[in-house]
């Protein structure tokens, strides 16, 4: 019997649903959501009296610090913006892989992981190299590593694949990239909050994430770690916050901060960063290791139960390459109908192409898994 790690006081919908959809949108930390509403109300009622110019300078700092803890970095190495996509786009233009070089990724990665790099490659003529998945949508890590050669400029991976939950060994790919003079860039939107990320021990050069999935935060906030070397580049996206003194307003020159903050560029829905900070600090207090253990126990139980029911499991079998996300096909079933049937039984998972993706998190218990398996059995 495994109880919830995150209580229903903090995640109220967990008592109404068997919510296994963190890979789509995680349940929000209730206090984090409240802080965002309070901030918005204060702004509506009192404008700059409530949110001063000094507040606007400092309002992202606490999230910088929380992200630093999450990635085992320092706050200097973190930038905050509205999403993973914008941060990755800014980084891709900062790096701008040139013609003759190649960018290595997986064909199963999320579009927002690699489209920014494809757009730059369209401009410069750099080559894209894809590791292809087998019929179970699994990427062979050896085949992925074999794509890296002396012309590789960037190895760009989602630490956890959005569909199957396949987990990549970041140290392996950062080492392989560095051995060829390339950098290793990571999208952690499907991993931050569910598996530990350590930029020091893995040696990755950049990690970007949005906050509304496994970090139990809101839409509208993303954060990115960048290595000291990447803090010397000119970001691809710049605006008034890009200058070292944002209230200086002298438009005829642009001097970047000597930190990752140079990747912060403009106004955003600042209140979301306050809510994301509450949620991230809550997860950090529990520890990501504990959450990862909890989630793995639940997903292993789910995998075993689904196998017994004859489902076709996708992604790798090796536990070291698995995260909490579990994807399955149900041969002979109309998968859209099947997902709807589960939803009617308050079991919330995602329909993706021809499979269903279950993504249990800290607010789930082993009872949830058993109830979901019973409902799936009945529906089958
Ligand atoms: C790996 C990954 N990256 C990025 C995103 C979405 O990016 P953004 O939050 O910037 O829209 C998703 C959403 O599913 C994702 O799975």
Signed CA dihedral, 146, 147, 148, 154: sign only: negative
**% of residues, the chain, pLDDT over 90:** 99
- For the question of whether the overall pTM of this predicted structure is more than 0.85, the answer is yes
**So what's the pLDDT on residue 143?**
98
**So what's the pLDDT on residue 276?**
98
DSSP characters over 250-269: -TT-----SSGGGG--S---
Return the ligand 1 atom nearest residue 212 CA.
9
158-170 tens-digit pLDDT: 999 999 999 999 9
**So what's the pLDDT on residue 21?**
98
Distance CA(13)–CA(361), nearest Å, equals 13
**So what's the pLDDT on residue 324?**
98
CA of 210 to the centre of ligand 1 (A): 7
292-336 tens-digit pLDDT: 999 999 999 999 999 999 999 999 999 999 999 999 999 999 999
CA of 92 to the centre of ligand 1 (A): 16
**So what's the pLDDT on residue 307?**
97
**So what's the pLDDT on residue 287?**
98
**Cα separations (Å) of 323 from 43, 166, 365?**
40, 6, 16
HEC secondary structure over 142-196:
HHHHHCCCCCEEEEEEECECCCCCCECCHHHHHHHHHHCCCEEEEECCCCECCEC
**Cα separations (Å) of 157 from 43, 127, 175, 252, 318?**
39, 16, 14, 38, 19
Going from N- to C-terminal start, the domains of the chain cover 12-20+287-379, 52-270
**So what's the pLDDT on residue 173?**
98
Would you give per-residue pLDDT tens digits along the chain (380 residues)?
A: 999 999 999 999 999 999 999 999 999 999 999 999 999 999 999 999 999 999 999 999 999 999 999 999 999 999 999 999 999 999 999 999 999 999 999 999 999 999 999 999 999 999 999 999 999 999 999 999 999 999 999 999 999 999 999 999 999 999 999 999 999 999 999 999 999 999 999 999 999 999 999 999 999 999 999 999 999 999 999 999 999 999 999 999 999 999 999 999 999 999 999 999 999 999 999 999 999 999 999 999 999 999 999 999 999 999 999 999 999 999 999 999 989 999 999 999 999 999 999 999 999 999 999 999 999 999 98
CA of 93 to the centre of ligand 1 (A): 19
Which residue of 107, 210, 218 sits with most ligand 1 atoms within 8 Å of its CB, as the best mutation to test the pocket?
Answer: 210
Distance CA(189)–CA(213), nearest Å, equals 7
Task: Please say whether the structural domain 12-20+287-379 has been given the CATH code 3.40.710.10.
Answer: no
CA of 326 to the centre of ligand 1 (A): 18
**Cα separations (Å) of 358 from 130, 339, 374?**
26, 11, 15
**So what's the pLDDT on residue 114?**
98
As assigned by CATH, the class of the 52-270 domain is: alpha beta
Of all protein residues, the one whose alpha carbon is nearest to atom 11 of ligand 1 is 85
Distance CA(32)–CA(37), nearest Å, equals 9
Q: Are 304 and 334 in contact (CB under 8 A)?
A: no
Distance CA(373)–CA(306), nearest Å, equals 7
CA of 83 to the centre of ligand 1 (A): 8
Distance CA(230)–CA(101), nearest Å, equals 18
Return the ligand 1 atom nearest residue 219 CA.
9
Distance CA(216)–CA(30), nearest Å, equals 9
**So what's the pLDDT on residue 200?**
97
Of all protein residues, the one whose alpha carbon is nearest to atom 4 of ligand 1 is 112
Q: Which residues contact 249 (CB under 8 A, 6 or more apart)?
A: 240
**So what's the pLDDT on residue 75?**
98
Residue closest to 338 by CA, chosen among 349, 322, 323, 325: 349
Ligand 1 neighbours, Cβ below 6 Å, are 83-85, 110, 112-113, 158, 162, 187, 189-190, 210
CA of 18 to the centre of ligand 1 (A): 23
355-358 and 350-352: which strand pairing?
antiparallel
């Amino acid at each position: 019997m495994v109880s919830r790690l995150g209580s229903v006081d903090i995640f109220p919908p967990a008592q109404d649903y068997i919510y296994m959809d963190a890979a789509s949108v995680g349940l929000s930390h209730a206090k984090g959501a409240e802080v965002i509403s309070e901030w918005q109300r204060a702004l509506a009622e009192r404008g700059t009296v409530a949110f001063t110019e000094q507040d606007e300078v400092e309002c992202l700092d606490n999230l910088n610090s929380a992200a630093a803890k999450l990635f085992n970095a320092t706050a200097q190495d973190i930038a905050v913006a509205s999403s993973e996509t914008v941060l990755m786009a800014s980084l891709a233009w900062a790096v701008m892989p040139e013609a003759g070089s190649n960018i290595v990724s997986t064909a199963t990665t999320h579009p927002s992981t690699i489209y920014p790099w494809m757009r730059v490659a369209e401009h410069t003529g750099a080559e894209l190299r894809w590791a292809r998945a087998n019929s179970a949508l699994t990427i062979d890590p050896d085949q992925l590593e074999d794509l890296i050669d002396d012309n590789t400029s960037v190895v760009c991976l989602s630490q956890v694949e959005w569909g199957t939950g396949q987990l990549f060994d970041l140290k392996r790919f950062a080492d392989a990239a560095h051995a060829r003079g390339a950098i290793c860039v990571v999208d952690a939107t499907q991993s931050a909050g569910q598996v530990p990320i350590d930029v020091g021990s893995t040696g990755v050069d950049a990690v970007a994430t949005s906050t509304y999935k496994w970090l139990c935060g809101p839409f509208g906030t993303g954060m990115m770690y960048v290595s000291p070397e990447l803090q010397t580049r000119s970001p691809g996206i710049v605006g008034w916050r890009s200058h070292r003194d944002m209230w200086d307003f002298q438009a005829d020159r642009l001097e970047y901060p000597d930190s990752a903050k140079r990747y912060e560029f403009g106004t955003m829905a600042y209140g979301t960063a306050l809510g994301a900070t509450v949620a991230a600090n809550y997860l950090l207090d529990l520890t990501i290791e504990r959450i990862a253990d909890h989630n793995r126990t639940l997903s292993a139980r789910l995998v075993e139960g689904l196998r017994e029911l004859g489902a076709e499991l996708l992604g790798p079998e090796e536990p070291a390459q698995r995260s909490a996300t579990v994807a399955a096909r149900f041969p002979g079933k109309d998968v859209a109908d099947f997902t709807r049937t589960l939803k009617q039984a308050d079991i919330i998972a995602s329909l993706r192409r021809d499979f269903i993706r279950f993504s249990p998190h800290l607010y789930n218990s082993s009872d949830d898994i058993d109830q979901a398996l019973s409902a799936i059995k009945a529906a089958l």
